[in-house]
Structure 1
Amino acid sequence: MEKLIFCLMLCACNLAIAQNSEATQDLVQLKLLAEDFLKQQTLSYPGLIDISTTQIDRRLKLPACDNPRPFLPSGSRIVGKVNVGIRCTTPKPWSIYLAAQIKVSGDYYVTAKQISQGQAILPTDILKVSGELSTLPAGAITNPEQVVGKSLSNSLASGSIVRLDAIKTTPIIQQGQSVKIISAGPGFQVTTDGVALNSAHEGQVARAKTISGQVLSGVAKLAGSIEINY
């Protein structure tokens, strides 16, 4: 009986040692992995990028992973406050999430004075200012070439952030203008003259009537043409 008890105690001791010696994941490595992943995701952003992630609770014991892979939850916007996940599949599956803060600092443009609807924007009408781009509304202008020479679709007060959706765009095809209708398919291309029945921007659907009276629909292209692919 004493030998049996001794064996059981020895087995339990060995089991405890094995459990305690099981390799655990380096949490600092995971933090660095998440930050490097976010840096790669923001390479195309203008300005200076500052990325910080929260510390992982040191009490967390994760089995060592052969190849931890970072990811972003579906629909995530990679700016401001975000969550980045890290997933493991082998040898034991697990996943965790880290809170991160992404700040983008750079130049953007505001109006130097009030600009009326339809007025063409001059270089002196806008001012360059610096700030955190991640807090700006979508479409904020970061390059003056995006707006200089173009007109506004609505009036802007002095000091307003200039946005792309405030710029009035001109359709590349105007209703009533003469157009070229290009019908193309495998091994053929036919060009027909016609008259546009609606105005359309590049990539939008445009309708036109041919000289014979046939009405065709296609995609508006530059140089006032309508392309139909078969």
Structure 2
Amino acid sequence: RQVAPAVAQQNLQPAAVAQPVPLPGQQDAESIRSAALAFLQQQSAGLPGKIDITVAPAFPRGLAACTTLEPFMPSGARLWGRLTVGVRCAGERPWTIYLQARISLRATYYLAARAMAPGEVFTAADLVARDGDLTGLPQAIVTDPSQAVGSVSLVRIAGGMPLRRDMLKSASSVSIGQTVRVVAAGQGFAISAEGSAMNNASPGQQVRVKTANGQIISGIVKDGSTVEIQL
């Protein structure tokens, strides 16, 4: 006997998968996911552009109910793309659970308008703006012209290459291996010599310099080529 069309259509629809109801004393799954989502929203608040966050459902499987959930991210984890966020309970019956999440970030980033040799200074004309998803790009990508304009290229950069902050340094900073002039000033005299910087440093920061005779001295960066030693 033929089944009525309305009944046949109803039977072909898949049944909805409901989240299991926690037993008394067990942790609710949705509260874990909500805590992780709120944490990621807070952590990503300072990111540029349009942010979209999704967090996968949690499956606590009998974990003890917790009054205070503590979301966290593994040390060094990037704040966009696919990531893992943890939620822990530090109560009498402590536990930790990890959830998969994704932060999609659409923003403006910048490319090199032309080929740049090491040591060249970037101007606004050397930047090309591009709008897109930053998920597949390095976390150090340049997203503001002020991060590049006035900076010096540390490496050879091809035209059209997305710019990263680790490719650049402030024109007033010194970088490891750079030749600097060391100036020692005292009452009524000043002595200068050349040396090689042994660490990266910005103006006002301390830098170690190895002189031509092998002596290692410490001074304060004055500008992109001068280190001062107060006697």
What TM-score comes out, normalization by structure 2 length? Answer: 0.67
CA change 1:193–1:127 in 2 (3 A) is same
Corresponding residue for 1:219?
A: 219
Residue 178 (str. 1) matches residue 177 (str. 2): no
Q: Deviations over 1:68-108 (max 9, x none)?
A: 21122344333322211111232422221111112222111
Q: Judge conservation of contact 1:66–1:91 (CA < 8 Å) in 2.
A: no
Q: Deviations over 1:113-147 (max 9, x none)?
A: 33445444332222111112232124321121222
What TM-score comes out, normalization by structure 1 length? Answer: 0.68
**1:1-230 alignment to 2 at 5 Å?**
22-57=24-59, 60-167=61-168, 175-176=180-181, 178-180=183-185, 193-200=190-197, 201-202=201-202, 203-206=206-209, 217-222=217-222, 224-226=226-228
Q: Deviations over 1:17-76 (max 9, x none)?
A: xxx963332211111101111222223322222221101238x33322121211223443
CA RMSD of superposed structures (Å):
3.5
| Structure 2 residue runs without a partner (length 5+) | 1-21
Partner amino acid for 1:89? A
Corresponding residue for 1:16?
A: none
The alignment-based identity, stated in percent, is 28
Give the number of the structure whose alpha-carbon radius of gyration is greater. 1
CA change 1:27–1:222 in 2 (3 A) is same
Partner amino acid for 2:28? D
Q: Deviations over 1:147-192 (max 9, x none)?
A: 22444344433311122333365555964453447xxxxxxxx998
| Structure 1 residue runs without a partner (length 5+) | 1-19, 182-189, 210-214
Partner amino acid for 1:111? A
SS in 2 for 1:198: strand
Q: Judge conservation of contact 1:206–1:220 (CA < 8 Å) in 2.
A: no
